[in-house]
Amino acid sequence: MTNSLVYPRGALFEQVGMVLRARLCRYRHLAPQVRHFEFELVEGTLDFQPGQHVGVVGESENGLVVRPYSIASPPGGSRFELCVRKVPGGLFSEQLFLLEPGHEILITPPRGSLQLRFPVRRVLFIATGTAVAPFRSMLLAPEMWQLEPEVTLLFGARAENELFYKDEFEKLASEHPQFRYVPVLSRPSASWPGRRGWVQDHIAEVLGQQTDWDVYLCGWPEMIRQAREKLRQLGIREERVYDENTAVPYRGATGLPNDG
């Protein structure tokens, strides 16, 4: 898995530092192979910025493995939430899907550079699949709306049943008139009335004539590459386009799709 690092047994604490214990409170199904997990630290509180991720610690034949998962909930207290797709043969997702309430996992503290830049101005979030998780964290954070910014979520999925958190995003749009929720499906049913195709092909439509956007990307690397190129062509300055380029211990974990 390209987004994971393996540590020899005994070296994890030297390389990562503190490891925390978290207990599963509950989970719910978002799609047949996707679950929303709610965890609580066994001790203490979890301090993080909206958009960051935790590392879930697992064990493989070669040693301990740390796999990053974007936090899907806003900061506050000892609880945090994850959105995970089960991948056949995936070391972590299959283990997580075996968990029942009361079971515990080990995590490393939150980190990551995919964070809101303040002041929040005109913002476009572009996500695919379970990589919408960090944007849910941002959108549910109270500080997101303090200045009543113009915010658009351009969310790509395969089919209607993979529009994760659809009801929540539609509720946000009803509460904040300046928020737009724009779903795009690549494999819709014949009855789907909305946008079709790849999410990056709808960027120009969403941006309109404005170029003063802060754009946040999370999803598969090819989507991020194409989206960056389209944004450049549309006049969005590179320094105002953000994705996850994470430092140690998750080097190379661009986009952090919560799969595997």
50-90, pLDDT tens digit by residue?
A: 999 999 998 777 777 889 999 999 999 999 999 999 999 88
* pLDDT at residue number 245: 65
Mean pLDDT for the stretch of residues 16-27? 88
Mean pLDDT for the stretch of residues 171-179? 96
pLDDT tens digits for range 206-240: 999 999 999 999 999 999 999 999 999 999 999 99
Task: Place 9 in a pLDDT band, splitting at 50, 70 and 90.
Answer: very low
Task: Place 197 in a pLDDT band, splitting at 50, 70 and 90.
Answer: very high
| pLDDT surpassing 50 at residue 138 | yes
The span from the CA of 15 to the CA of 17, in Å, is 6
What residues pair up with 126 in beta bridges, in sequence order? 154, 217
Give, in order, the Cα–Cα distances in Å from 2 to each of 65, 197, 229.
12, 26, 23
Which residues, including other chains, have CB under 8 Å from residue 193's CB and lie 6 or more apart?
A: none
If one compares 160 and 8, the residue with the highest pLDDT of the two is 160
Terminal Cα distance for the chain, rounded: 7
Task: List the one residue out of 255, 156, 236, 238 whose CA is nearest residue 197.
Answer: 156
Task: Place 17 in a pLDDT band, splitting at 50, 70 and 90.
Answer: low
Which residues, including other chains, have CB under 8 Å from residue 120's CB and lie 6 or more apart?
A: 143, 144, 146, 147, 149, 151, 214
Task: Place 244 in a pLDDT band, splitting at 50, 70 and 90.
Answer: confident
Q: Give the domains, in start order, of the chain with CATH numbers.
A: 5-111 (2.40.30.10), 123-242 (3.40.50.80)
Which residues, including other chains, have CB under 8 Å from residue 73's CB and lie 6 or more apart?
A: 38, 79, 80, 81, 136, 137, 140
Residue 102 tokens read as 């009361």
Task: List the one residue out of 154, 139, 152 whose CA is nearest residue 178.
Answer: 152
